[in-house]
Amino acid sequence: MAGQAAGGAPEGAAGPGGPSADAPAELANSTATDRMGQTSGPDLAAMPARLQAVNRTRGTVLADRLEVADSFGSRFAGLMGRPSLAGGTGLWLPGTGSIHMLFMRFPIDAVFLGPQLPDGARRVVGPRPGLRPWLGIGLAHGAKGVLELPAGTIATTGTSLGDEVLLEAAAEA
């Protein structure tokens, strides 16, 4: 993430009713079992190491090499300290409704996504292009995760409010 995200549990977190609605489609029926034999929602070990984000509405790829920040440490560190973000890459922060740009060295586009739809896609609830390092803050009401992408990605892909984005396993290189 750009900086520390505010609020929300990791994507794989489950409540009393089972898997979180934020879990990717491929994890919907995958559960982890704790040492007491209790199921705890999606098995994070089953989550692909890399995802891709496809804007299904426009037929464009937002990122074909998307890292997942699903632990406190990875969410806290996010993109801080990196010199840049290469085209086609990005960071998925599940369960996040806001980010900040403190300690960032470069601008980014942030695409805030809503809860997972029954078919696995998510609606764009807040496209935020060109967040500036040190000065920018991004948030969106109703967001259940955010994609941090190279600056210009939103314009290049034509991504808009209401578009449907699908997060899926990326092809191994």
The DSSP 8-state label assigned to residue 152 in this structure reads: T
Provide the 10 A C-beta neighbour count for residue 45.
8
Rounded to an integer, what distance in angstroms lies between the CA atom of residue 81 and that of residue 83?
6
pLDDT over 70 (residue 126)? yes
CB 173 within 8 A of CB 31: no
3-class secondary-structure state, position 46: helix
The residue written with tokens 């396993």 in the block is 169
Output 69 or 25, whichever has higher pLDDT.
Answer: 69
Rounded to an integer, what distance in angstroms lies between the CA atom of residue 55 and that of residue 129?
16
Q: Which of 35-39, 139-143, 169-173 has the lowest mean pLDDT?
A: 35-39
**Residues forming beta bridges with residue 167, ordered by sequence position:** 53
**CATH number for domain 48-169, candidates 1.20.140.10, 2.60.120.1140, 3.40.50.920, 3.30.565.10:** 2.60.120.1140
Position 100 scores a pLDDT of 78
3-class secondary-structure state, position 44: helix
Position 173 scores a pLDDT of 58
For residue 102, what are its two tokens?
Answer: 């403190």
Q: What is the pLDDT of residues 50-108, one digit of tens each?
A: 799 999 999 999 999 998 888 887 777 777 778 788 899 999 999 988 887 888 889 99
pLDDT over 50 (residue 35)? no
% of the chain exceeding 70 in pLDDT: 71
- Give rounded-to-5 percent helix, strand, coil for the chain: 10, 35, 55
Tell whether pTM > 0.95: no
pLDDT over 50 (residue 26)? no
CB 78 within 8 A of CB 69: yes
- Of the pLDDT bands very low, low, confident and very high (cuts 50, 70, 90), residue 47 is low
